[in-house]
Amino acid sequence: MTAVEEQVADNTAPDRFGIRSKRSGEADERLAKTGRMTQLLRRPEAGAAGGLVATIIIFALLPGAANLYSLQGSMTFLTLSAELGIIATAAALLMIAGEFDLSVGSMIGFAGVVIGLTVRHLGLPLWGGIGCAFAVAILVGYLNGLIVVKTRLPSFIVTLASLFILRGLSIGITRAVTGRTQIPYILDGVPDPATAGLFNGHLFTGFFQWMGTQGWIATRSDGVPFVTGIPMSIVWWLALTVLAGYVLTQTKYGNWIFATGGDATVARNVGVPVDRVKISLFIYTACAATLLATIQVMEAGSADTTRGLLKEFEAIIAAVIGGVLLTGGYGTVWGVMFGALIFGLVQMGIFYTGIDTDWFKVFLGLVILAAVLINNWIRVKALGRGGGR
Amino acid sequence: MTPAMELRGVSVNFGSVKALQDIDIKVYPGEVHCLLGDNGAGKSTLIKVLSGVHAPSKGEILVNGKAVRFRSPRDAQDLGVATVFQDLGMISLMSITRNFFLGREPTRSRWPLSRIDKEKANAVAKQAMADIGIDVRDPTQAVGTLSGGERQSVAIARAVHFGARVLILDEPTSALGVHQAAMVLKFIIEARMRGLAVIFISHNIHHAYPVGDTFTLLNRGRNRGTYAKSEISRDEVISIMSGGEDLKAVEAEIQGLLAQIAARQSGVARQ
């Protein structure tokens, strides 16, 4: 064999300049092998999962842990997590599609007012009032979405306008009709416990009662357990999380959500109905806010025009803690669930440890900063060096 | 033979700017048709007309001899005209498979349970890439982790897989290294051998001339002629691409400057 033939036969051997030629298909020797652990850490919810474990451990070591992690304490923080999780999941899907909805908090107040006024002052049955609230939500979400896709203005600005408009309408209409800013006694004289129970009831009450009679869980003096069952808010939260997770990762529509947030022009060029995806998600966030409003109205029996204040930011924070990128195109629903859990746990944890609750906000600010830094780091990891666009 | 794609008297105006005037182009199956021209010649506008991004102000587009109107790039794709855009047309945070099937996801089960058939999608994507000679390690890896050449390859494999009869490549090799550019050129030949009509836009004569069969020269928004490879030499193509006499003038100027420098240096040495 001549020297030339030898080189052709083994063209991966370095030539006289020490340069290795490349052949497609071969594993690149520069490609580091990634282990299972690294792959797990690269998942978008890795940071949130780690944060949740750390939070659980920290509060277990602080005074008040026994109360926080008791059945009653757990149910309380899980309910807080659930209420946030319902809107945070919706906010997360919209963020993955590259948009924000700042009107979520105002929508919670407005939906409550719609239920209160239609039931108390128009004499509609309870299901009718709730139906009206959802109809209004669909309209509000549609308008938010339509304005965003038609004007191409940042959704941040468009929904900031809706935030003020909806809050103003809630207060204005309620005061004009009732002379006050609250609508009390909504459930009084409404003979519809079945509809109310869908939102304020408890699941597995028989099981909890049985555990109470066995003496396994704490009961009141009359034998009724303190925790009568799993609140419906938690059931709604878990159901919506599983549904949203399935839609996002398993369906065509979910693929379109990622593509819309990843690069809307590219998505449009291959035929993804980008505008429809965005509008439908604005409708989803408005409906999620209305679901939360319904749960709160059914539990309190009253509506308050100031309900849901700042909830839009809490929802976005939970999504960001959960690994959803602020720039869109990346994130998971499971991460958002962890984010909501951290939120509820810290809020109740601070209460039980006896720390001044004012510190909750300081903590929140620090967590947001940490979460964003971790997210950026994870994205760079996910894309290898450089982190892509 | 009927051209796979044809433009008849196409003009595009942006306000008072005439970007393209009376363009006639015929592209045949199994042919690599190179579009050449300097910056501002109208290449980008022409690609946008061919791919369905812009509608022509005047004239008509024919696919397989039938007049068509594209309302969107997706319309063009559905008629078998696929474009691999310069900015790659890929979403870097999504996986190869998700990008490959974006907008045409294969599903299983019926609504409301219908979901993407991931096993099938991964297998098909891997196979489609293997068909044109790319071995993907893992079709679920993010496109952002691929090199520029690999991304171009995914885009070409996608176009071929979804039944493109006309493949438009906008500067596919401009951002690539030597090895990757060679890989992309190989795919162009591969696509041609499968009977596709390939429209290849490039600035690089070393890439365009070897693979091209036909060369159309654009200048100031007009078609200055279409030539078969046998009718035009590499040097002629170079001179047209660089703006004709300009290059010779620039070369002469550089020679003059070099001579001046040399003269000055010898002067310094003498002192």
What are the sequence ranges of the domains in chain B?
Answer: 5-232
Q: Which helix (H) or strand (E) holds A22?
A: none
pLDDT in tens, B7-47: 998 888 888 888 888 889 999 999 999 988 777 778 888 88
Q: Which residues of B touch A (CB under 8 A)?
A: 53, 72-74, 77, 85, 89-94, 98, 101-105, 107, 114-116, 118, 133-135, 137, 142, 144-145, 179, 183
Residue A25 inside a domain? The answer is no
The predicted model gives A84-90 an average pLDDT of 97
Q: In what order do the strands lie in the sheet with B166-170?
A: B81-84, B166-170, B197-201, B32-36, B214-219, B222-228
Q: Which two tokens stand for residue B219?
A: 């200048």
CATH of the domain at A89: 1.10.3470
Nearest CA in chain B to A259: B91
Rounded Cα distance, B24 and B226, in Å: 9
Mean pLDDT (whole number) for A98-123 = 95
CB contact under 8 A, B102 and A330: no
Residue at A23 is within a domain: no
Chain B residues within an 8 Å CB radius of A22: 179
Q: What per-residue confidence (pLDDT) applies to B245?
A: 62
Give the pLDDT score at A261: 95
Residue A387 domain flag: no
Tell me the C-alpha to C-alpha distance, in Å, between residue A178 and each of A120, A123, A155, A174.
10, 14, 33, 6
What residues in B contact A30, CB-CB < 8 Å?
none
CA distance A14 to chain B (A): 16
CB contact under 8 A, A388 and B92: yes
Mutate: best of B90, B91, B101, partner A, most A CBs <10 A:
B91
In this predicted model, what pLDDT tens digit does every residue of A217-232 receive, in sequence order? 888 888 888 888 999 9
Contact A271 B183 (CB under 8 A): no
Instruction: Answer yes or no: is pLDDT of B260 > 80.
Output: yes
CB-CB neighbors (< 8 A) of A19 in chain B:
none
Task: State the pLDDT at residue A58.
Answer: 86
Query: Residue B107 pLDDT more than 70?
Result: yes
Between chains, do A255 and B98 touch, taking CB under 8 Å as contact?
Answer: yes
Cβ contact A347:A281 at 8 Å: no
Measured from the Cβ of residue B112, the count of other Cβ atoms closer than 10 Å reads 7
**For residues A87 and A283, what is the distance between their CA atoms, to the nearest angstrom?**
12
Highest mean pLDDT among A140-144, A197-201, A341-345: A140-144
pLDDT in tens, B126-182: 888 887 677 777 888 888 888 777 888 888 888 888 888 999 988 877 777 777 788
Please check whether residue A174 lies inside any domain of the structure: yes
* Cα–Cα distance, A339 to A344 (Å, whole number): 9
What residues of chain B lie within 8 A of the CB of A251, using their CB? 107, 114-116
**Residue A156 covered by a domain:** yes
Q: What pTM does this model have?
A: 0.84
Reported as a pLDDT band with limits 50, 70 and 90, residue A13 is: low
Q: Which residues pair with B219 in a beta bridge?
A: B222
What confidence tens digit (pLDDT) does each residue in A225-251 have?
888 899 999 999 999 999 999 999 999
- The per-residue pLDDT of chain B, averaged, comes to 84
Both tokens of residue B257?
Answer: 């400057």
Mean pLDDT over residues A284-304, rounded? Answer: 95
pLDDT for residue B175: 73
- Domain assignment present for residue A90? The answer is yes
Question: CA B153, CA B169: separation in Å to the nearest integer?
Answer: 11
Which residue has better confidence, B186 or A34?
B186
- Domain with A252 in it: 42-372
Note the pLDDT of residue B115.
87
Q: What is the pLDDT of residue B106?
A: 87
pLDDT of residue A253: 94
- The mean pLDDT of chain A is 86
pLDDT (mean) for A309-323:
91
A with B: how many residue pairs have Cβ under 8 Å apart?
95
Taking contacts as CB-CB distances below 8 angstroms, the residues of chain A near B114 are: 251-252
Alpha-carbon distance of B233 to B240, in angstroms, equals 11
Phi/psi of residue A321, each to 5°? -60, -35
Of residues B135 and B70, more confidently modeled: B70
A356 within some domain: yes
pLDDT at A168 over 70: yes
Q: Per the CB < 8 Å rule, is B92 touching A250? A: no
Q: Band of the pLDDT at B243, cuts 50, 70, 90?
A: low
Q: Which segments within A142-264 are labelled E, that is strand?
A: 182-183, 202-203, 230-231
Question: What's the mean pLDDT in A324-345?
Answer: 91
- Are A270 and B102 within 8 A, CB to CB? yes
- Which of A24, A252, A267 has the CB atom closest to B183's CB atom? A24
Give contacts of A28 with chain B, Cβ < 8 Å.
none
Q: What's the token pair of residue A260?
A: 């819309």
pLDDT above 90 coverage of chain A, percent: 52
pLDDT score at A5: 45
Give the closest-approach CA distance of A100 to chain B in angstroms. 19
Cβ atoms of B5 and B83 closer than 8 Å: no
Question: At residue A381, does pLDDT exceed 80?
Answer: no
pLDDT for residue A19: 57
Q: Tens digit of pLDDT for each residue in A37-75?
A: 666 766 778 878 888 898 899 888 888 888 889 888 999
Work out how many domains chain A is built from and give that number: 1
Q: Concatenated DSSP letters for A320-388? A: HHTT--TTSS---HHHHHHHHHHHHHHHHHHHHHT--TTHHHHHHHHHHHHHHHHHHHHHHHHT-TT--
Beta strand pairing status for B66-68 and B58-63?
antiparallel
Q: Which CATH number fits domain B5-232: 3.40.50.12780, 3.40.50.2300, 3.40.50.300, 3.40.50.1100?
A: 3.40.50.300
pLDDT of residue A25: 44
Bridge partners, B35 (sequence order): B201, B216
In a domain, A28, yes or no: no
Residue type, A349: G
Most confident among A146-155, A346-355, B167-176 (mean pLDDT): A146-155
Please report which confidence band the pLDDT of residue A6 belongs to, taking 50, 70 and 90 as the band edges: very low
- Give the model's confidence band at A267: pLDDT under 50 very low, under 70 low, under 90 confident, else very high: very high
pLDDT greater than 70 at residue A361: yes
> Do the chains contact at B93 and A266, CB–CB below 8 Å?
no
Residues in chain A whose Cβ is within 8 Å of chain B: 21-22, 24-25, 27, 246, 250-252, 254-256, 258-259, 262-263, 266-272, 325, 329-330, 379, 382-384, 387-389
Cβ–Cβ gap B142/A263 under 8 Å: no
> How crowded is residue A207: how many other Cβ atoms within 10 Å of its Cβ?
11
pLDDT at A217: 84
A255–B105 C-beta distance less than 8 A:
yes
